[in-house]
Structures are given as structure tokens and as C-alpha cells.
Structure 1
Amino acid sequence: MKKIKIILEMIKFEHTVFALPFAFLGAVLGSLLIEGNWPSILEWVWITLAMVGARSAAMSLNRLIDAKIDADNPRTEGRAIPAGLLSKLETGMFIAGSFGLLLFSAYQLNMLAVYLLPITVFFLVFYSYTKRFTWLCHVFLGMTIAIAPLGGWVGATGTLTWEAFVLFLAVAFWTAGFDVIYATQDAEYDKEVKLYSIPSHFGIEKALLIAKGFHIISFSAMLSLFFITPLGWIFLIGIFIVGAIMVYEHSLVSPKDLSKVSVAFFTMNGIISMVMLAFTIGDLLL
């Protein structure tokens, strides 16, 4: 039980709230657009388990791949692997189990979900390496997390349509934006050890402007869903609430004051994903 607690802390299990609501959103929107009904209870269950498996594998891989980097960074040296709380073997076993859960869940949904798994696994593994060679690493992370709504869409419908990719775009740039904000904490360290990030490459002031640009793209993609799907005014209200939260998130940080980065990163983005899901379901119900 102690090891399980350490693993859950290592992968920040509670942050599943960032991506899981978007997987549900993709499932609900896809089902109603394509099939005219709601996802079944079993589809809800297997999509949830697939998401838990995918995210657990991705976060564990990230911690395993970055173990040496984390050990050298004063901000992250206390993480489970560099601190000796978990061995690399134990972490590897957990990763294998998480991928097993993802694969089994995909089989319970449909064959398209299974056929697309290699692409999913590639992104789950690849994004952890991108900080070693490109400052676009934030966009790769965004694309990886944005697989969640695509996965929900495929899991519930067995198809992919262009509307799903608009949702993908919204989530990808939302994630990339808040990841740039989070990376400002390590700008100097990343530059010193030659790791790539937008803050270390462009400086914190320009990085925060780029993050705003990413969030404008994300908001625009969310807003466009109002025009290309049957979603109505309740969904539109939710989108403007999300936009207001994004504006507030950016007001919390500045080049001279990064003390509230954690609030901007964790609290605000957890609220955004839940607002998107709640107002989408509320709109479709009413």
C-alpha cells in the first residue's frame, strides 16, 4: 500500500481531471453526432479505464525517462525515482501494467481503437524525449493529451470525423499554453543544462505571450464547435466562462512574479476541463 501511494503521488493521479473530462466530452459529442444517442454504461467504463491506463503509463514513463534530469534539478530532486522511493524496475512494472490496461480496454470498445493504439503509444513515449531537441516540446505534450478526446470519440463511435479534430486542436493548444506557463519555473535551469523549452529559448516575457497565443487558438477552436455542431447557447456560455478563466490564469503570472504558477497550472486548468464537460452535457441534455 505504501508503494501504491508513492506511485499515485509520482504520477499525480489526481491530475487525471485535466484530460478525463475531455475524453468524456469526445465520447458524448461523438455519440450524439454520429449515432444520435448517449454512450452506453460499458463504454463509459472502458473509456475511463483506457484513460487511466494511458495517463498512468505516460506519467510513469516521463518520470523514468527524466530520472537523471530530475535528480539534477533542485525543484524535482525529491521525486520518487531520484529520491530512491521507487526503483526503475518497480516503475517499469507499473508502466507495463498500465499499457496492459489500455490495450485490454481498447479491445473492449472497438477495433478502430485497437488499430490506433500504436499511434497513441508512440506519442505517450515520444513526448518525454522532445525537450532534448526542440522547444516545441509543449506542443507535442498538447498533442499527446489531446488524444484523450479523440480516444473518447473513437471508443464511443468506432469512427473519426473532422469535428473530432477541431476538439483535438482546442485541447492541444490549451495544454501547450498552460505547459509553457508551468515551464517558466525551470527556464534558467533548462538553459543551463541545454534542455529545450519555450521559456528557456525565448525568455519568460516572450514565453508568456506565446502561451497567450496558444490559448487564443484553443479558445477559437472551442468557439468554432458552437458553429459546426448542434451545441447551443448553454455550451456557448461555458466557452465564455472558459475564456474568462484563461484570462484570469494569465493575470496570475508575470515575468516578475511567478509565485502563483502552481495555482494557474493546477487549479485553473482542472476547473476549465470540468466546465467544458459540464456545460456540454448540460447543453445536450436541455
Structure 2
Amino acid sequence: MLGRLNDLLGMIKFSHTLFALPFALLGAVLAAHTPEGWQGRPRDWLGILLCMATARSAAMAFNRLADRRIDALNPRTASRHLPSGQLSVASVTLFTLACVVGFVASTCLFLPNPWPLRLSAPVLLWLLGYSYAKRFTSLAHVWLGVALMLAPIAAWIALRGDLAWPPILLGLAVLFWVSGFDIIYACQDADFDRNAGLHSIPARFGVRRALKMAAACHAVMIVVLIALGWAYPLGAVYFVGIGAVTLLLAYEHAIVRPDDLTRVNVAFFQVNIAISMGLLAFSVIDLLI
């Protein structure tokens, strides 16, 4: 039983929740910080953590189910848990359903605010729908960006029950950040996707142009983060954090080149976790002082 659980956690790469979770927490922090003091019940923060974990796990597991035949044909992904037989379709299906139920149940922690529960179904549909996007559009990267964009916006709605410009700007920053790094990641499969009839920006435009588009996405992200700092408003420590994020993004693009994709995983995993965790840390410190 424990071995199966370890396999399931390995399949969804649970640690990679660190991509989106800091931005969800930052959205919640911005919502909780008011002129009257810090707002939010302990169960609201627990709800944000549970919703993030269950939604992300459901989406990842469903993606593995939807892509299992494609993964089996791709040398890079053939060793994943479903194509290699380490996990059964039935066990991953049950895990996905459990995560879906857990996500919906977690939104009840925000009651009497009804919006998280009301929005749980359309949010899940969007998250799960991403798994099929590359079958019909090269903008699948943007679909994924919108999926993670929902995290800080949903956290704000969960705590305040309304919507304002700060979470929208933060969400847009996430959208361009995720779209950019997903384009970089997809460069590894450009030839396979093209031959398999799948859609991606690298498959459509080539790796060199795709990397330029990813860089443009990340440039827009920085502009939006600056706009957030002015709109909220945030202080000097936050803007120092933006400077650090800019340097990390520059490093990410420096180590991934059209003729050398060997360090894509370093850029995708290590650098992007540093970006999300770092921006959260700088923002919280800014608000606390």
C-alpha cells in the first residue's frame, strides 16, 4: 500500500506544487493584508493549501491518464508510471477521482463565502481540459498558464469574496511566466510533437523562434509585476525581489539555447521554483516591514 502511494506521489511529482503554491499564497497574503490588519481565518489558509494540493494532483494524474498512449511512444516519457506498467489505469483513475472530491470538499472550508464552492466545477474543467489542448491548438502553453493564473485569483476570492486589480495583475504575471517556461520545456519534444500531429509553439515555429517567444512572455511578466507593485502598492523590498526574478529569468534563458537543450530541466524545475518561492518571500517581507 505504501509502495503504491509512493508511486502515485512520484507520478504527480508532488514537490512540483512549489511552482504554483507560492503564487496562490501570495494572492492570499495580498488579500489578507488590509489597512485594518491581517484578515483570514486559520481554516481559510488550510483551505488554500488543500485546494492547491488536490487540484494540482487531480490535474497531473488526469494528464497522465489522457497522455498514457502518447507517452508510450515518446522516448523521453516512455518510462513514466503508466506506460511502463508501474501503475494501473484503474489506480490512477481512483486517485484522480479522490483528488477531485477532495478539491470540492476543501472549498467548503471557505463557507459562508459561497464562491469557491460555486467555482470549483468550472475551475476543475479548465484544469483537466488542459490535457487535451495540445491535440488541437499550439496555444496549449497559454491554457496551462491560465490554469495556474487561477491560483492567486481564486485565493483572493476565497478570502475576500470579491475581485480587484491586484490578484488580476498577479494572475497575469503567472500566466506569462508559466506560458514562457512551458514553451521552453516543450522544446524537448518539438520533433516528436510535429511527427505525432500534436500542437505546440516549438513544433509549429521551431525551437529558435519558440525560445524568443518564451523570452518575450517573461519580459511581459516583469512589466506586469512592476504594475502590481504600483497598484497594490508594494515597497522597495518587493521591487528588489522583481530584480532578483529578472536575473533568474535571464539565467534561465542563458542556459537553454536552440543548439543545447541539455539544461532544460534545470531551467524548468530549479530556477522556476526559486522564482516563485523568492517572489513570495520578498513580498511577505515587504508587507511585514
Aligned length: 286
Write the mapping of 1:84-103 to structure 2, written as runs, cut at 5 A: 84-103=85-104
Residue aligning to 2:134? 131
Residue aligning to 1:259? 262
2:165 touches 2:231 (CA, 8 Å); kept in 1?
no
Write the mapping of 1:49-198 to structure 2, written as runs, cut at 5 A: 49-109=50-110, 110-198=113-201
**Structure 2-normalised TM-score?**
0.96
1:27 touches 1:157 (CA, 8 Å); kept in 2?
no
| Cα offset, 1:98, TM superposition | 0.5
Unaligned 5+ residue runs, structure 1?
none
CA deviation digits over 1:170-228, x for unaligned, max 9? 00110010000000000010011110000000000000000001111111111111110
Residue aligning to 1:26? 27
| C-alpha distance in 2 between matches for 1:223 and 1:169 | 12
| C-alpha distance in 1 between matches for 2:155 and 2:229 | 19
Give the 3 Å change call, closer, same or farther, for CA 35–61 of structure 1 in structure 2: farther
Structure 1 window deviating more from structure 2 (154-163 vs 98-107): it is: 154-163
Question: Secondary structure of the residue that 1:133 maps to in structure 2?
Answer: coil
1:228 aligns with 2:231: yes
Letter in 1 for 2:96: I
**Structure 1-normalised TM-score?**
0.97
| C-alpha distance in 2 between matches for 1:283 and 1:72 | 48
| C-alpha distance in 1 between matches for 2:116 and 2:34 | 18
| C-alpha distance in 1 between matches for 2:34 and 2:177 | 24
Question: Secondary structure of the residue that 1:132 maps to in structure 2?
Answer: coil
| C-alpha distance in 2 between matches for 1:47 and 1:184 | 33
Letter in 2 for 1:163: P
| C-alpha distance in 2 between matches for 1:251 and 1:261 | 11
| Cα offset, 1:90, TM superposition | 0.7
Letter in 1 for 2:193: D
Please list every run of at least 4 consecutive aligned residues from structure 1 whose deviation after the TM superposition is greater than 3 angstroms: 33-36
| C-alpha distance in 2 between matches for 1:50 and 1:237 | 30
Question: What RMSD in Å do the two structures reach over aligned CA positions?
Answer: 1.2
Residue aligning to 1:209? 212
2:24 touches 2:48 (CA, 8 Å); kept in 1?
yes
Letter in 1 for 2:212: L
1:34 touches 1:157 (CA, 8 Å); kept in 2?
no
- 1:245 equivalent among 237, 241, 248: 248
Question: Secondary structure of the residue that 2:262 maps to in structure 1?
Answer: coil
Question: Secondary structure of the residue that 1:80 maps to in structure 2?
Answer: coil
Letter in 2 for 1:46: G
| Cα offset, 1:230, TM superposition | 2.3
Letter in 2 for 1:202: F
| C-alpha distance in 1 between matches for 2:288 and 2:165 | 23
Residue aligning to 1:13? 14
Letter in 1 for 2:102: L
2:193 touches 2:200 (CA, 8 Å); kept in 1?
yes
1:18 touches 1:273 (CA, 8 Å); kept in 2?
yes
Unaligned 5+ residue runs, structure 2?
none
Question: Secondary structure of the residue that 1:222 maps to in structure 2?
Answer: helix
Letter in 1 for 2:159: A
Letter in 1 for 2:188: Q
1:57 touches 1:98 (CA, 8 Å); kept in 2?
yes
Question: Secondary structure of the residue that 1:116 maps to in structure 2?
Answer: helix
Between the aligned residues of both structures, percent identity stands at 43
- 2:283 equivalent among 261, 268, 280: 280
1:26 touches 1:164 (CA, 8 Å); kept in 2?
yes
Letter in 2 for 1:277: L
Question: Secondary structure of the residue that 1:81 maps to in structure 2?
Answer: coil
Letter in 1 for 2:170: L
| Cα offset, 1:33, TM superposition | 4.5
